[in-house]
Structure 1
Amino acid sequence: MTAASDTDIAPAPPPEAAPQGSSADALGALRTEIDRLDDQIHDLVMRRAAVVAELANSRVKGGASPLRPGREAMILRRLLGRHAGALPGGAVVRLWREIFGASSAMQGGFTVALHARRPEEARLARDHFGGAIPIRPLPSAARALAAVAAGEAQVAVLPLPEEGEPDEQAWWTSLDAPRLQVAARLPFWAAKGESPPEALAVSLGAPDPSGADRSLLRIEMAEDRGRAQLVAALTAAGLPPRSLLLRRDGGVVRALAELDGVVAEGDPRLSALPVARALPLGFYAVPERGVLG
């Protein structure tokens, strides 16, 4: 048998091409489905806006502020509790925060007074209130609080109190409570393991409870008590603190205690404290630190 030459070998047939129409048709069907879903989402968002407008015009709503941080926290907790799938939980929160902000803007005259020590605190305010809300930067916490007191802004976003901060930055020591009260802690949501910058929001009047809240209590004492003594006194009164800041200004000692639950003026536990004055400064929804990315 003789070897065949290269010219005797028949060329292999080319691979059979996949039908061009099948992948294109599938892609088109998916895009059509996305368009249909976008229309449905848009319809629901418009319907939600109509309900918000109806609520704003109702007699029940009256002239109250549209700021409802407790109600917003309840909505977000419910949505995060039912959330599943590939969309990150943080995206859900950002979507609804924009909806909340736009809803507040719809009700008219909503402005945020901002005093930020660092750029990330300014971004925090924008992320929380959304792009529809005017944010007015101010050079001091006192100016931001004065804007809320005068009705020029509906909420002031201020730095989280810190141990040992300068007198001019310790805005909580002179907060005009109960007229002005802490109503929210920002951000409400962060992924587990993250340590985002934080801030507090102050508004006129009492905040609305969310069902899982923490309170701030300003304590004033004529005599200098140590941290351990004050923690023991709070615990004995049924108010064990989660955290405690101490400031000594001349002969006056002031403390800021973070407490579980809603502690408001008239709470009988306050009268059991051996201090000159214990003044609730408001409360806020417990922030969510979830496992959803």
Structure 2
Amino acid sequence: MPDLAPPDLASLRTEIDRIDDALHDLLMRRADLVAHMAASRVKQGGPTFRPGREAVILRRLLERNRGALARPAVVRFWREIIASSLAQQGGFSVATQGEAGVESPLARLARAHFGLLTPLRLHPTPTRVLASLASGEAAVAVLPAPQEGERPEAAWWTQMESPRLHIVAALPFLAPLEAARDGGREKAPPQAFAISPLAPDATGRDRSLLRFEPLPEHSRARILSLLNTAGLAPRWLLRRESPTPMALAEIEGFLAEGDPRLGALPFPRLQILGAYAEPEPEE
């Protein structure tokens, strides 16, 4: 049988235009549904920002993604759709660290996650960023992931008011894969965290951040042993010695107040700073 002639360029463009119209119709319908939900939330007092729900949406779409559409394109497209839905519901802005007129990597990361049109409020220090969130000037704060050996003024996690504020998301949601020591590839750690007055939602695949004050006699090895014995094996652990000894551990799973494993730890002050959806692999 003779080969079928390939469609001409004009026919392909016509088909793309038809698909664009269908997509636009669906997006307008989606916006109408968001407006209806927003009105219901106003009556019921429910939150508009649901990072756990956002993560579940993106995971479902990535799971069903097939063909030539790249995973980063899926996430970028739906992050903008989610951002437009938040904007519809009013008063959503993001505070982060930076200087006016300077597009820092942290600001770019915040814009990529919360949408190009979401108002971004820049402040010179982490303390000012958290103050902007606590005062209600911003709905969400984005700050860089804690690092070992960081300067005291950069260690925002030691200043964060808990349980008034919570870590609710890790950025970026789509994590690049990096070479591991054993020759395999692992997801890169988060570059930043999103903080909100809202409590985090469990998504089924989560990580939690635990802040505590170790006793003077607690070495790093001893802290790791205590966490492992309690069934809270940390993925990573940071420790600061001054001005007050304090440690931060990332724990697999969603930790909630009242978890019996927390009661087995001998630390005098222990707080769950929040939880976030485990990032998805970029590839």
User: Which deviates more from structure 2 when the two are superposed, residues 59-68 or residues 195-204?
Assistant: 59-68
- Match of 1:258? 250
1:96 CA drift (Å)? 0.2
Aligned-residue offset at 1:192: 3.2
Say whether the 8 Å CA contact 1:181–1:205 is kept in structure 2: yes
Q: What SS does the aligned partner of 1:229 have?
A: helix
2:275 aligned partner: 283
Equivalent residue runs for 1:215-234 within 5 Å: 215-234=208-227
Bigger shift: 148-157 or 60-69? 60-69
Q: Identity of counterpart residues, as a percentage?
A: 54
What is the Cα deviation at residue 60 of structure 1? 7.9
Alignment partner for residue 150 of structure 1, among 122, 131, 135? Answer: 135
Larger Rg: 1
RMSD between aligned residues = 2.1
SS in structure 1 opposite 2:245? strand
TM-score, with structure 1 as normaliser: 0.86
Report the secondary structure of 1:87's partner residue.
coil
Distance 2:273 2:262 in 1: 13
The alpha carbon displacement at 1:53 in A equals 0.8
* Gap runs ≥5 in structure 2: 179-186
Aligned AA (1:30): L
Question: When the two structures are aligned, how many residues end up with a matched partner?
Answer: 269
Q: CA deviation at 1:68?
A: 1.0
Say if 1:217 and 1:256, in contact at 8 Å, map to a contact too. yes
Provide the rounded CA distance (Å) in 2 between the counterparts of 1:154 and 1:59.
16
Once the 2 structures are TM-superposed, how far is the Cα of residue 28 of structure 1 from its aligned partner? 1.4
Larger deviation, residues 185-194 vs 272-281? 185-194
Residue from 122, 129, 152 that aligns with 2:107: 122
1:48-88 deviation line (CA, Å, top 9, x unaligned): 11111111111587333321111111111111111011121
Aligned in 2, Cα 1:181/1:30: closer, same or farther, shift over 3 Å? same
2:66 aligned residue (84, 87, 98):
84
- CA deviation string 1:1-29 (max 9, x = no partner): xxxxxxxxxxxxxxxxxxxxxx9972211
Q: What residue number does 2:240 align with? A: 247
Shift of 1:205: 2.8
SS of aligned partner of 1:264: coil
Q: Does the residue aligned with 2:44 lie in a helix, a strand or coil?
A: coil
Q: CA deviation at 1:131?
A: 1.6
AA matched with 1:32:
T
Q: Which residue matches 1:208?
A: 201
Taking a change above 3 Å as real, the CA distance of residues 116 and 217 of structure 1, as seen in their structure-2 partners, is farther
CA contact (8 A) 1:215 1:281 kept: yes
Quote how far apart the aligned CAs of 1:259 are.
0.2
In structure 2, C-alpha distance between the alignment counterparts of 1:47 and 1:224, rounded to whole Å: 61
- Deviations along 1:165-223, one digit per CA (max 9) or x if unpaired, are 11111111121111100000000003434858711010003111211110000011342
One-letter code of the match for 1:134?
P
Identify the range of structure 1 (218-227 vs 269-278) with the bigger mean alpha-carbon deviation.
218-227
Instruction: Say yes or no: does 1:175 pair with 2:160.
Output: yes
| Matched residue, 2:46 | 64
Which stretches of structure 1, 4 residues or longer, exceed 4 Å deviation after superposition? 194-197
Matched, 1:33 2:9: no
Question: Aligned in 2, Cα 1:221/1:196: closer, same or farther, shift over 3 Å?
Answer: closer
> In 2 relative to 1, CA 219–149 (structure 1 residues): closer, same or farther, beyond 3 Å?
same
